[in-house]
Structure formats: structure tokens, C-alpha cells
Amino acid sequence: MGGTSTSEDSATLLYVRTAGTNVRTIAVDKDNNVWTGGYGNKVHQKYDGETGAAIGAPVNLGSDSGYGGLIDGNGVLWSSGWSASSISRYDPATGTETNHAVDGGSYGLAVDSNGYIYNTHLGNTVSKLAPDGTLIWTKAYTGGAGNRGIAVTPDGHLWIGNSYSNTVTRLDNDGNWIANIVCETGPMGISVDSNGKVWATNYNSNSVSRIDPATNTVDLTVELGPGASPYNYSDMTGTVVTGTTSPSGTWRKVLNGGAGATWGQIFWNLEDEGEIPDTTGLTVEARWSNDLVTWSDYIAYSSAENIGLVAKYLEIRTTLERVGGTGLTPVLSDLQVDYTPGGGTTVPEPTTVTLLSLGLLGLAWRKRGGHNL
């Protein structure tokens, strides 16, 4: 009688009745719109991520859909059908739906940074498809049975939850076996967090396990309590959205030049390692404050441009983007700001810090001539 619609929970922002019935497919596109698909009636619908309003007409993708699902870097919706021996590929830009044969029992779906699709089959096989749906291979592996959820780590390795054998299998990008990791009972959903660790939801033991890829061991188990029965096949951590569907990374740093500091020219990618390939982007912006409370708006700059600001604090924000499926990544190798300190502040010594953003973008601060912060 109403269910969630009558509940009071501050975490519930929207309650939306979906066009699909027995919804299992759920995926988020680069514009933060949400696709849902019903395993019952196979109907898929896009909804506005802010308002929940339906966008466009619902689409029935047939028996090859409604279970696992994702949006790839080209905005294409993929949906598996469990009992079917194929998966559905729907391109909203053209309104074209195609079905692509795989092994039987099509379950979990995952996508890597180059746009290749991976599909598990409830036995001990997994398929790899090209971005256009062409089947590249189907391979079996040892030590796993009842495979369901699947995810891809930044190194391109595949991680598969084997619900019958209580293991998570690690394969390389070509489907070659690397390891089996023992979890608690019934691992179903698999996802990767922003630190590159792998999480498995254990349906039968009411728990989740965290795996460290550096050691191929479970380094944390969280008990969820009796009856929790965690059960999912979609991207529960959001790394598909940030790493593949809408791949971007943002890095910020606040600089303290002392009261009355003058901020001069800003430079980046003066070193050979820096590059911004076609279809990728790198934006550098700055804003200022004198109290860390009230800030100006961000202003975008070109390399070697004069910032021309007088303020105690300067915040630099860099945004790096790439188009999913191209395999091209922008690299920020170095960034330098020239300034005159204010208030008698001593210029800090240059430092070297290596950062990674979402496992996608390599960012480094390196020593150069002038004042490096």
C-alpha cells in the first residue's frame, strides 16, 4: 500500500513510478539521466536525474533485456536478459536496437575504459564484445560457478562474482585466469570503488567483502545483519559513470601567498610528458579569497596567461576529460604559478606530489624554475 512513497527518509529525494515492471536494469548517462528497465515487461525508460520526469517515449527491448544494464561512453544502453542467449544494445541517438548473441544465461554487464563490453553467463563463462556489439570471444575459467556480477578495475582486469562457489574470479582483459578469491557465501554484485578496491555483495551471508587487488585477498568484511540479502548487478559505486560513461577528473589546490600576494603567470604542460590529445580536454581555472570563506567566481586561463590578482589565497582547479571508448587520456605533467608573496611570507620550497584522479588521469607537481607550489 504505497510502499516507499509513504516512507519518511531523508535519503529519499525522489519517488518515481517506472514504466518497466520488476525493474532490475538501472544505469546513469553522462547528463545524469537515469535509465531503468523492467525484467517483467522489458520496457526501458529514461528519467531526468534531477526531477524524475520521463524523457521521451518508453522503449521495449524484448526478451534479451531487463536484467543487468549499463550506459557506455558513447551513450549506448546495454541490457542483459538472464534467460536469453543474447544482450540488447540500444542507441538513443538513432533509436536503433540490436541483439547480440552470447552464451546462455546472460547476467552481469561491465565496460572497460576502451568501451569493450563484458557479459557473464551464470556458469563459468564470460563474453567480450566490441562497442558495436561484435562478439570478440567467450571464454571459460576455473574455480568459479554461478557467475553473476562483473566489474573492471583501472588496469582493465575483470572481477566476477561466483555465487555458487563463493569466490570472486580475477581475469585479465583477454579473459586469462589470474586468481580466485574466497569470500563469504553467495557473492552476487561486484563493483569498484574510487581507490581501486573491489566490493562483492554476499547474498547468502548478509555481508559485503572488500578485496585488495594488490594482494588478491579480502581485507574487509562488513556484516549487514540478518535478512539483508544484498542483491545487485548494476554499478553500486558510480565508477562506471565517472570512469567510462562520463570520464573526467577534477583536482584542486589552495595556495597561500600571504596577505596582499600578487599572482602572476600560470603555466602547465611545459614538460614533454604533458599532452592533450584530440577528443580530450584540460581546463585550468583559478579563484581568489582573503579569508577562505568568501570566494570569487572561477576564471579559466590559458597556459602562460597572467592571472593578475592580488589576494592572500588562490585556488587552482584543473578539470581533465576524455571521450569514452577512444582510449585517449589527457595528461597534466606539471603546473607552475609565479607570484610575489605578501605580508613577509617566505616562498615555500618546491615540492613533488603525485596524484591520481579516479584511476583515469595522471597528475603530477614537478620542480621547475621559478616558484613552484
Confidence of residue 359 (pLDDT cuts 50, 70, 90): very low
Query: Phi first, then psi: what are they for 244, rounded to 5°?
Result: -130, -50
Q: Does 150 fall in a domain? A: yes
Q: Does 1 fall in a domain? A: no
The residue segments making up the domain with residue 45 are: 14-245
Q: What is the mean pLDDT of residues 207-220?
A: 95
The Cα–Cα gap between 190 and 283 comes to 33
Of 320 and 125, the structure prediction assigns the larger pLDDT to 125
**pLDDT tens digit sequence for 65-112:** 888 888 988 889 999 888 778 899 999 989 999 999 887 778 889 998
Confidence of residue 347 (pLDDT cuts 50, 70, 90): very low
Percent of the chain whose pLDDT exceeds 90? 45
Specify the range with the lowest mean pLDDT, choosing from 183-187, 227-231, 329-333, 369-373: 369-373
HEC states along 279-313?
CCEEEEEEEEECCCCCCCCCEEECCCEEEEEECCE
Task: Single out the residue in 194, 225, 245 at which a domain terminates.
Answer: 245
Task: Single out the residue in 222, 245, 268 at which a domain terminates.
Answer: 245
Query: Is the model's pLDDT at 357 over the cut of 80?
Result: no
Q: Which residues pair with 335 in a beta bridge?
A: 268
Q: Does 188 fall in a domain? A: yes
Long-range contacts at 133-138 (CB < 8 A, ≥ 24 apart): 133/89, 133/98, 133/100, 134/100, 135/100, 135/101, 135/102, 137/174, 137/175, 138/102, 138/103
Q: What is the mean pLDDT of residues 14-23?
A: 90
Confidence of residue 367 (pLDDT cuts 50, 70, 90): very low
- Residues 96 and 34 reside in one and the same domain: yes
Task: Single out the residue in 201, 228, 245 at which a domain terminates.
Answer: 245
Query: Is the model's pLDDT at 59 over the cut of 70?
Result: yes
- Residues 24 and 162 reside in one and the same domain: yes
- Residues 224 and 328 reside in one and the same domain: no
**How high does pLDDT run on average in the chain?**
83
Instruction: Identify whether the C-beta of residue 46 lies closer than 8 Å to the C-beta of residue 53.
Output: no
**pLDDT tens digit sequence for 143-155:** 888 888 899 998 8
**pLDDT tens digit sequence for 116-151:** 999 998 888 999 999 999 999 999 998 888 888 899
Q: Does 177 fall in a domain? A: yes
- Residues 111 and 257 reside in one and the same domain: no
- Residues 54 and 162 reside in one and the same domain: yes
- Residues 241 and 252 reside in one and the same domain: no
Distances (CA, A) of 106 to 22, 99, 122, 145: 17, 12, 7, 14
Of 353 and 339, the structure prediction assigns the larger pLDDT to 339
Give the count of domains, the chain.
Answer: 2
Write down the pLDDT at residue 114: 83
- Residues 155 and 33 reside in one and the same domain: yes
Q: Does 254 fall in a domain? A: yes
- Residues 223 and 269 reside in one and the same domain: no
Query: Residues with Cβ < 8 Å from 127, sequence gap 6 or more?
Result: 102, 103, 118, 119, 121, 135, 136, 137, 138, 139
- Residues 294 and 225 reside in one and the same domain: no
- SS3 for 244? helix
Dihedral (Cα; 29, 30, 31, 36), 10-degree rounding: 10
Write down the pLDDT at residue 250: 75
Of 234 and 62, the structure prediction assigns the larger pLDDT to 62
Query: Phi first, then psi: what are they for 319, rounded to 5°?
Result: -120, 125
- Residues 189 and 162 reside in one and the same domain: yes
Q: Does 28 fall in a domain? A: yes
pTM, whole model, 2 decimals? 0.70
Q: Which residues pair with 59 in a beta bridge?
A: 44
- Residues 172 and 201 reside in one and the same domain: yes
Q: What is the mean pLDDT of residues 276-284?
A: 86
Domain of 185: which CATH number?
A: 2.120.10.30
C-alpha cell recorded at residue 254: 589552495
C-alpha cell recorded at residue 316: 587552482
Q: Does 232 fall in a domain? A: yes
Domain of 354: which CATH number?
A: 2.60.120
Write down the pLDDT at residue 82: 81
120-133: burial string, b at 16+ Cβ within 10 Å, e else: bbbbbbbbbbebeb
Write down the pLDDT at residue 122: 83
- Residues 238 and 345 reside in one and the same domain: no
Instruction: Identify whether the C-beta of residue 71 lies closer than 8 Å to the C-beta of residue 65.
Output: no
Q: Does 2 fall in a domain? A: no
